[in-house]
Amino acid sequence: MEHSAGAGPAWALALEHSALGETLRQAMWLYPIANVLHVLAVVAMIGSILAFDLRLMGAAKALPVAGLARLLLPISAIGFVVAVITGSLLFIADATAVWNNPVFVYKLALIALGLVNIAVFHFGVWRSAEGWAVGTSAPLSAKAGAAVSIASWVATATLGRLIAYF
Amino acid sequence: MSPYQARAATGAALILGSLAFAAVPALAHHGWGSYDSTTLTTLEGTVRSVSFSNPHASAQLEAQGKVWTIVLAPPSRMSSRGLPDGTLKSGQTVSLDGYIHKSDLVELRAERIRVDGKSVELR
């Protein structure tokens, strides 16, 4: 955006004016493709997270937690990686405007919260997961982690969409 | 909560808290809700420059004694509606209808643009 050029931290300006930033803005379909892939990645990621977290919170206790984890967690991990790559492309194309957007920093904070929650869960209560495989309730801390997970990732996606409206 | 979990939770709270209080610049440009859509404004003037780029094309327009930043549509839509790259040129006289930015009073989000006798819807 011409009139906002120069408004923003030097690193954001450098990203925006890089060859990649220039290409993303000039190529007709690169940006829309990155945008579509970003949405699909977020859908895959949050859909699988939601299903897994609901199981931890007590839904469908007949389904084995470990089996669900084998199916769903790689989908969410791959979705996250694709979302980070495509999100970076969308950011680079318009870095100063996005950085100046009042919503964006809260989205980053929520991603940080979601990742910390994953780390706490996997290095903590998840190591005792064999004990609550089928038919039993997950421990309270696992349920709490699942609730934080759903809240943080749904809020992340919500703020991501709201960037366009603030 | 184990000590590890408590530490991690405290860390997360600190990160969130400090980010929430970080200075957020009030440069809320370009958001869809940032334009006053209660008043449709019509401008007629001379195109000074055109940026045919993603996420949306834009132009500088001299009209009413001011230089306006005009927010247009994504290049793909501009092209499919009959305004491919190069058809909107500096020096051209155009008129357009749109909504003025609530805080940046020389930025206008164009709803349609009339150029060379044809009217192109941008939304």
Average pLDDT, chain A: 93
This complex has an ipTM of 0.80
Q: Which residue has the higher pLDDT, B34 or A12?
A: A12
Q: Assess B31–A contact: CB distance below 8 Å, yes or no.
A: yes
Global pTM value: 0.83
Average pLDDT over residues A80-104: 96
Distance, in angstroms, between A27 CA and closest chain B CA?
A: 8
Alpha-carbon distance B98 to A9, whole Å?
A: 31
Interchain CB distance below 8 Å, B75 and A28: yes
Alpha-carbon distance B122 to B110, whole Å?
A: 7
Q: Which two tokens stand for residue A72?
A: 């769903």
Q: How much is the pLDDT for B21?
A: 44
Please spell the DSSP secondary structure of B70-117, one letter per residue. Answer: EE---HHHHHHTT--TTSS-TT-EEEEEEEEBSS-TTEEEEEEEEETT
Distance, in angstroms, between B48 CA and closest chain A CA?
A: 12
Alpha-carbon distance B57 to B30, whole Å?
A: 12
Q: How confident is the model at residue A133 (pLDDT cuts 50, 70, 90)?
A: confident
pLDDT string in tens for chain B (123-residue length): 555 555 555 555 555 444 444 443 334 456 788 899 999 999 999 999 999 999 999 999 999 999 999 999 999 999 999 999 999 999 999 999 999 999 999 999 999 999 999 999 999
Give the DSSP H or E segment for B45.
Answer: strand B41-51
Q: Which two tokens stand for residue A119?
A: 């780390």
Which of A104, A120, A127, A165 is best to mutate for the B interface (most B CBs within 10 A)?
A: A120
